[in-house]
Amino acid sequence: MQFLESADLAGSIAGDLSIWSLFLQADIVVQIVMVLLIAASFWCWAVIFEKVLRMRRLDRQAGSFEERFWSGGSLDDLFERIGQRPDDPMSAIFVAAMREWRRSTERGVPVEDSRLTLTGRIDRVMEIALGRELHHLERYMTFLASVGATAPFIGLFGTVWGIMNSFQAIALTKNTSLAVVAPGIAEALFATALGLIAAIPAVIGYNKLNNDISRYAARLESFSGEFSAILSRQAEARG
């Protein structure tokens, strides 16, 4: 008889400890914490997938552009083919520099001035274009870092709140049986688990994406320096 009662109690507790039951039975504060962490987790995964796919696409586009750039063809022809709507950051830097170069040549800048100021203006234009493109690439990176840093503490807050509710239930019922304590402890630990579920992918994704963006930024900076040297030599040849 005692065995049957224990089995019935274990079955009722197991039914109450399903994920959906834990959410429905949780305090409103813990429910808000759970919803925030679940939403943050989904948003982190969306950001990670979007940026991983975007970085792969940009690497392919950069490789294709570099192949055309170093093929030995005319820079003016390449500029005309790309047009006014470059589809990747490296092309955007190239177009910005070529546009400034053409403006200077069309105005007929004096030779002594061109040597001193043209290269500086082109470098400044490419620096601005590089900063603008990197700003777009780094969008939502702060969100990943914030989730990775704060999600465990938000989950811990839900844990503490759930344990407080468990102690209050014990005080009200004056009963320390598993049936009284288990639901509150379970929802508290569930909040902690959700915090880790949100934080771990955010931290890993941030570290990987930050490394990918840094390598891509170095690639853009290297191209900017090489292209600036090419234009500088052409400016000297004009003189």
Per-residue tens of pLDDT for the chain, all 239 residues: 433 344 444 444 444 556 666 666 767 888 888 899 999 999 999 999 999 999 999 999 999 999 988 887 788 888 888 877 788 899 999 998 888 888 877 665 544 445 557 778 888 889 999 999 899 999 999 999 999 999 999 998 888 888 887 777 677 766 666 666 666 777 778 888 899 999 999 999 999 999 999 999 999 999 999 988 888 787 776 65
Return the residue matching tokens 């963006």. Answer: 213
Specify the pLDDT at position 223: 92
Q: How many domains does the chain have?
A: 1
Please count the other Cβ atoms lying within 10 Å of the Cβ belonging to residue 186. 21
The residue range of the domain holding 77 is: 2-238
Residue 84 DSSP label: T
Specify the pLDDT at position 208: 95
Residue 88 DSSP label: S
Give me the long-range contacts of 44-50 (CB less than 8 A, separation at least 24).
Answer: 44/143, 44/144, 44/147, 44/198, 44/201, 44/202, 44/205, 45/201, 47/140, 47/143, 47/144, 47/205, 48/144, 48/201, 48/205, 48/209
Rounded Cα gap, residues 55 and 81, in angstroms: 23
Element (H, E) at 113: helix 111-113
Specify the pLDDT at position 38: 92
Rounded Cα gap, residues 138 and 33, in angstroms: 27
Rounded Cα gap, residues 138 and 236, in angstroms: 37
Specify the pLDDT at position 152: 92
Burial class of residue 221, CB neighbours in 10 A (0-12, 13-18, 19+) = middle
Phi-psi region at 68: left, alpha or beta (left = phi > 0; alpha = psi -120 to 50) = alpha
Specify the pLDDT at position 16: 56
Specify the pLDDT at position 83: 73
Rounded Cα gap, residues 24 and 37, in angstroms: 16
Element (H, E) at 102: helix 89-107
Nearest to 30 by CA among 175, 147, 181, 194: 194
Which tokens in the block code for residue 221?
A: 């900076």
In angstroms, how far apart are the furthest CA atoms of the chain? 105
Q: What is the pTM of this model?
A: 0.80
Which tokens in the block code for residue 192?
A: 């902690």
* CB-based contact 222:178 (threshold 8 Å): no
Residue 117 DSSP label: I
